[in-house]
Amino acid sequence: MEALKTDILYNMKRQRSRENAPAPVKRSIGRILVDAGFITEEKLHRALVEQQRTNELLGEVLVRLGEISLVDLNIALSLQKDLADPDEAVKAAAGVRKMLGEILLQARRITPEQLDAALQEQKRTGEKLGETLLRSGILSPRELETALAFQKNHSSEHPLSVRLRLGELLVSAGYITREQLADALDRQQHTHKKLGDVLIDAGYVQTRHVAHGLKLQSMLLTAALTAALSLTPASVAHADTGNRPAGAKVLVSAVIPARASVKVLHQPRQLVVTDADIQRGFVEISAGSLLELRNNSLAGCLLVFEPRGLALKEALVSGLGREVTIGAGGGMTFQSFRGKLTVSLSYRFVLSDDAQPGAYDWPFFLSASPL
């Protein structure tokens, strides 16, 4: 009963605080684009200088300078209103389960070194991670509350914001129509496939379109989370600064653009299909691709297979921890590593019914896309 009374009083106090708070100020599109990783601080500064000279809108300057596509800019602008209020920003970023440390890293609110030190301290004291970060002065109470609210909003009861769902992003980008999305969602109900795979199988999109949509989704989630953590009332922020223990570190973070790449160390230039392969229906290649993958994104990356040349029903790829099925239209697989990874891939290429013997270009072009 006492705990319930405390919760009620807390919620009443929070509601009064919201009612007395000034109307939210729209978050600048430049800050959203930096938070999401579309541009760097340096590119934003150059664009702002150019904007003063030409009197254009900032987005127009960035598009003209080739720093962002008009499609990506418009999608980011559609989220701008939601990022003016911390509670709305938390809702926008809801739907993805993450550990507290991962959330704070993704929002660039703490560094990996700070997280490692806090985890070591947590083991020593038995505290919760949030309590350790709060006691050390790295987080303010409001920031911790916001991060925990985001963490809580991960279940099916708190689905991903409509604007940030993959299908909606693909519609906004002009890759699919709303009718095609509705058809794909209907097909998805009868399969266990992800929406991106359903869209590729239906011929509505290419693999690179889905990869772009997933990358946009991850970048905008980061922007929403960063906005939620940065929208701390000024009075709270000043009070927290005064209460920090002597010697507490002041966080200074730099935005490092997410990058991922594939370097082919060894791979045949061609795949030879014989009469025996046609009769058997497939071609097996052991250790066909030796790859060096690099990724600096905390959220992981996508390894993308784009088809070329030989007509296939599908390809079974092993060497990535589990067997991956790539459809006739191509496909992708998620990789959670960060840093450098060398992998050797083996393939079973399942031939289409009209396949003919001959020498073909290697069936897939491989690329990587950071999340």
What is the percent of the chain with per-residue pLDDT over 70, rounded to a whole number? 76
> Cα–Cα distance between 136 and 143 in angstroms, integer?
14
Question: At 331, is the pLDDT very low, low, confident or very high (cuts 50, 70, 90)?
Answer: confident
Cβ partners under 8 Å of residue 236, min gap 6: 140, 141, 142
How does pLDDT run across 218-254, given as a tens digit for each residue?
A: 888 778 777 777 655 433 333 344 444 444 444 444 4
* Bridge partners for 272 per DSSP: 359
**Confidence check: pLDDT of 23 > 60:** no
* Bridge partners for 4 per DSSP: none
Q: Which long-range contacts (CB under 8 A, 24 or more apart) does 248-253 make?
A: 248/136, 248/137, 248/138, 249/114, 249/137, 249/138, 251/109, 251/110, 251/111, 251/114, 251/138, 253/108, 253/109, 253/111
How does pLDDT run across 204-217, given as a tens digit for each residue?
A: 988 888 888 888 88
**Confidence check: pLDDT of 281 > 60:** yes
Q: What are the φ and ψ backbone dihedral angles of 253, each rounded to 5 degrees?
A: -125, 150
- Amino acid present at 297: S
CA dihedral for 310, 316, 318, 324, sign (positive or negative) = positive
Give residue 273's pLDDT: 92
**Which of the residue ranges 57-66, 155-164, 361-370 would you say has the lowest mean pLDDT?**
155-164
> Cα–Cα distance between 366 and 296 in angstroms, integer?
18
Does residue 361 contact residue 272 with C-beta atoms inside 8 Å? no
Does residue 152 contact residue 95 with C-beta atoms inside 8 Å? no
How does pLDDT run across 47-103, given as a tens digit for each residue?
A: 998 888 888 889 899 999 999 998 888 888 887 777 766 666 666 655 545 667 776
What is the overall mean pLDDT for the chain?
Answer: 78
What is the percent of the chain with per-residue pLDDT over 90, rounded to a whole number? 18
Q: Half-sphere exposure of 78 toward its Cβ, with a 13 Å CA cutoff? A: 18
The domain segmentation of the chain, as residue ranges, is: 23-243, 260-370
| pTM, entire model | 0.57
**Confidence check: pLDDT of 126 > 90:** no
